[in-house]
Amino acid sequence: MKEKKTPKLTLVGAGPGDPELLTLKAIKALNEAQVVLYDALANEEILQHAPYAEKLFVGKRKGCHACTQEEINKLIVQKALQKGHVVRLKGGDPFVFGRGSEEIEYAESFDIATEVIPGITSAIAVPGSKGISVTKRKVAESFWVITGTTSNHKLSKDVELAARSTATVVILMGMGKLPEIVSIFKKYGKSSTPVAIIQNGTRKNAKHGFGTINTIEKVVEEEQLSSPAIIVIGEVVRHSSKLLEYFEDEFFEDEFLFQNLDIVPNFSN
């Protein structure tokens, strides 16, 4: 008689996109899984670490949902009771706008054991891939990570609060609300604030555009940027060594751009 597997849910963060940015603990969990439920932001290359598992796509993207959240919750329980160990593979970190806590709570209401394996959040890793440090001494003492679209499909009110601060602002799922975001930052006198938009960050097909609040909408149009992308707003953007060549061109048009740098770059070479 075949041994019945103990039901278990492991919530695994798939990281920002690059499959090599997966933790060793995540790989071990995938290798042991009987079922993997993966979302739209999880790189499918990661599934090779689950050779023995049934693999089901349950992704949600704007305007296209393979499953509703309620259906995903029920599927987790169903598969755990039928097959044993379910890995729920979620892009980035499962507790950063990933609704991971909802899935944990639902599974535990059926007395299913749960575990969380954190992932590298795209909110920090994607800016980092372009040399953008979300905090920097004498430049930014804190950072906000905000969802661009709330559960009622509106722009988060926290964007307006963040725009009043000197903190770095990282907005996820915000491309559809970019005109609103730009308008808010202009209202608070932030027209010259640098902005980076990075699409498919850390992946081979990554694209990016850099500008200021004044120019970023034009940049998005020229570079044909779209979701999934991360919006980074703040003085730290111009401090990236990878972006100095871009801001060199801007320097001669707006001396404000480098007035807060610890060391002014030498553009004479």
Which member of 28, 55, 60, 186 is catalytic? 60
Which member of 39, 93, 130, 190 is catalytic? 39
Active site residue 262: no
Active site residue 1: no
Active site residue 90: no
| Pick from 263, 18, 247: nearest CA to 120 | 18
Distance between CA atoms of residues 123 and 144, nearest Å: 9
Which member of 93, 173, 177, 190 is catalytic? 173
**Residues tagged active-site:** 39, 60, 173
